Chains A and B, each alone.
Chain A
Amino acid sequence: MNKLLTISPSPHLYQGDSVRKIMYSVIFALLPALVWSFIVFGMPAVILTLTSVASCLVVEWAIQKYMLKTTPSINDGSAVITGILLAMNMPAGLPVWMIVIGALVAIGVGKMSFGGLGQNPFNPALVGRVFLLISYPVQMTTWPNITNSGVDSVTEATPLALIKEGVNSGQTVPQIMENIPAYRELLLGNFSGSLGEVSAALLILGLLYMLIKKVVTWHIPVTTLATMFVFAAILWKANPEQFADPLFHILTGGAMLGAIFMATDYSSSPMSKSGQIVYSIGIGVITICIRTWGAYPEGISFAILIMNAFTPLINNYMKPKRFGEK
């Protein structure tokens, strides 16, 4: 035989999944909610999202090419996800130049400074969002009024903000609730908020797709939402005048987006299933604490970043059960 045989250690068979396939599955799962936000918020949302994705790609490409001097790998889809998630965390009326800064911080600081894909200790999109929230608090909390079509100078508060302001000014929760859309509207997404906050139902649809595709497991999203629900339910049972009910908590704000798409980021969440449960319980508890007693109406992005910081510790202590060991 004139051709040499290939020698390699086993296994000789591979499942054939790739990073790219996984990333594009996540993008596909995000699409229903994203498209819905385009319908609700109109052209500004489209421009915001496209700018965000483009900025993320350019920043990653430039850093890889000119600073790290490696072959750019922006086609793996991960920067696109960061771009979409960043946009979904913004109010539609945000000035476009701001999201460019957000993308720079998300990819440049949140991702590439730690070594790129798989190395980031914090969710890059959240790093970008929190940077903008702290730097430009006014623009970041100015929500367009969706009762008129498209964005309008009239602004509308989000349900969570209404609760926070109301309770702080001495109103009871049932009184405030009269001004808040019904749960069916919250589920379907007929209220104001960030791009990705508005449709719980479509985000759940994305989760189902990712579960079927085995991109994520149920552990993080379900545990996070369940923890929020249980913790909120305890508070609500204790004092329904003071605290909002649990269903309200999981249907509003970034709860769904955070639990399904942000907390599940591979590199910033624990790897063992037991670790993921601990991590998600942490997110759920901290979110409700910030929403109830904190200065901000919404706290899931802070909660996820805080638990991201605990991930290495959780990875170190929550080991899978070893076969044959006690």
Chain B
Amino acid sequence: MLKTFKKGGVHPSHNKLTAQKPIEQLPLPKTATFINTQHIGAPSKILVKRGDEIKVGQLIAESGGFVSANIHSSVSGKVAKIDSVIDSGGYRKDAVLINVEGDVWEESIDRSSTLITETSLDKTEIIKKINKAGIVGMGGATFPTHVKLSPPPGMKADLVIINGVECEPYLTSDHRLMLEKGEELMVGITLLIKALGTERAIIGIENNKPDAIEHLKALSKKYKNIEVCPLKVKYPQGSEKHLIKAITGREVPSGGLPIAVGTVVNNVATAISVYEAVMKNKPLIERVVTVTGKHLAQPSNFYVRLGTPVSTLIEAAGGLPENTAKVISGGPMMGRSMVNLGVPVTKGMSGILVFDDAEGHRKPVKSCIRCGRCIVACPMGLEPHLLMTLSEKQMWEKAEEEKIMNCIECGSCSFTCPSNRPLLDYIRLGKSTFGAIIRNRK
């Protein structure tokens, strides 16, 4: 019996069109844009000004607090301007725009492909390097990694979980990384184990990636403290809380962090970036992005410099099809639909998904028939139909009693609703309104 979490979850078709496509290096863009908020937490403080000469890997915006991250340039050239641009969520953010000239790297970065497995650095030095490199959770949540690795006093992790689930349909960037950078991943995991002082690490991978499971199982034989755990396919298993539940049976208390049950979860791409930061002095300036969609000419996995415009990636995948209706940053279940294609690739952008007219539009909303499917689908044990009604009626306090704030916004309820009701839209409204009520109380 393969492991999975018990309550809730849905089974969207996988549509992993790019699972067998090796990662391709994308050429340098002409201009690159670095938004100062590519992570959860305080915006970074921009350090450069117009006209400055920049090298690849140079710090251009520094962390704006403990929960924040450094941002480095992924290109060399001249700062064209500091301006506000629209990010993938549709908000205006401050950004550094750089005109690319050549490809001059900081000397400290080791660009060779030699695998380094040994380090004399201790725990604090590893975390310091991770912090310096601006690493954040690359699965999409973009929580700064150094914060995860510094548990609050009195809390201790006994297990590192590596998230190779990639439960979002279409996305394959983590899958390809596991296959192509398995060695680096293993070293990255040993660094995470060292940083947290845990005994062992478990890599959770869904069963629809048998090649990745085989490959990593073979590699993990060299490491006594790393195990691979195949999981039954079920969305949203990539959610931290549900991955912990699936692998260990531990349940993160409501409102708590994984560290409350002694675990820290990191995505595979993050673990590889940790390797590069610690062993190669390379900050987080590149990532793998899956560019996909049933109507794209060549759906692909690209290795791209951060800051590259989304339009460049779509061109490389065969250009935008005629009947495109929606372009999504991330997967179809939790990704954000983008306003325009000038949006740059950021640290948390794991995929770009192109939908045509038929896929990109919602169907007309019908009345609730009280079938209870949303309750069955909710992995948090909530009653989405009730939360939607309470939000519609603006009964925020009552919605809070019904645990609206526990919602992880996975979208399983809206996905499963036969009446096409916008359940998650209203739950989000309720969450943000109640969140504001709490903040005003303080």
Contacts and interface: CB of A to CB of B under 8 A. Distances in A.
Judge: A and B partners, yes or no: yes
Interface of A: 1, 3, 5-15, 17-19, 21-22, 73, 76, 78, 116-119, 217, 266-267, 271-273, 319-325
B241 A324 contact: yes
Contact of B341 (A1, A19, A76): A1
Contact of B418 (A13, A21, A267): A21
7 contacts: A5-B324, A6-B326, A12-B326, A18-B419, A19-B419, A273-B376, A325-B406
Nearest to B320: A1
Contacts of A8: 326, 337, 362
Contacts of B336: 9-10
A7 B324 contact: no
A15 B382 contact: no
B326 A266 contact: no
B416 interface: yes
A19 B367 CA distance: 9
B194 interface: no
B406 A324 contact: yes
A11 B334 contact: yes
Nearest to B242: A323
Contacts of A6: 325-326, 337, 360-361
B421 to A, nearest CB: 10
Contacts of A9: 336-337, 424-425, 428
A45 B326 CA distance: 53
Given A5-B340, A9-B428, A12-B335, A271 B326 contact: no
Contact of A266 (B363, B369, B414): B369
Contact of B337 (A12, A14, A17): A12
Given A9-B424, A118-B370, A324-B241, 11 more contacts: A5-B326, A7-B339, A10-B332, A10-B336, A10-B424, A12-B333, A12-B337, A15-B418, A320-B381, A323-B251, A325-B406
B325 A5 contact: yes
Contacts of A13: 12, 169, 332-333, 411, 415
Contacts of B412: 11
A119 B385 CA distance: 13
A258 to B, nearest CB: 19
Contact of A10 (B334, B419, B420): B334
Nearest to B378: A320
A320 B383 contact: yes
Contacts of A14: 362-363, 414-415, 417, 420
B51 interface: no
Nearest to A322: B381
A22 to B, nearest CB: 6
Interface string B338-367: 111100000000000101000111110011
B361 A5 contact: no
A83 B385 CA distance: 28
Contacts of B368: 118
B424 A324 contact: no
B307 to A, nearest CB: 21
Given A1-B341, A5-B340, A325-B254, A267 B370 contact: yes
A252 B384 CA distance: 39
Interface in B168-223: 169
A273 B415 CA distance: 20
Contacts of B254: 322-325
A124 to B, nearest CB: 13
B320 to A, nearest CB: 7
A272 B7 contact: no
B337 A323 contact: no
B380 interface: yes
A183 to B, nearest CB: 34
A6 B361 CA distance: 8
A237 B368 CA distance: 45
Contact of A271 (B245, B385, B414, B418): B385
Nearest to A76: B366
Contacts of B255: 324
A301 B356 CA distance: 49
Contacts of B334: 10-11
Contacts of B353: 12
Contact of B411 (A11, A21, A322): A11
Contacts of A271: 370, 372, 375, 383, 385
B418 A22 contact: yes
Contacts of B333: 10-13
A321 B7 contact: yes
Nearest to B337: A7
B369 A19 contact: yes
Contacts of A3: 324
Give the interface centre of A17, A116, A273 by most chain B CB atoms within 10 Å: A17
Nearest to A118: B369
A12 B360 contact: yes
A314 B441 CA distance: 34
Contact of A323 (B360, B370, B381, B425): B381
B252 interface: yes
Contacts of B370: 118, 266-267, 271
Contacts of A273: 376
A7 to B, nearest CB: 5
B288 to A, nearest CB: 21
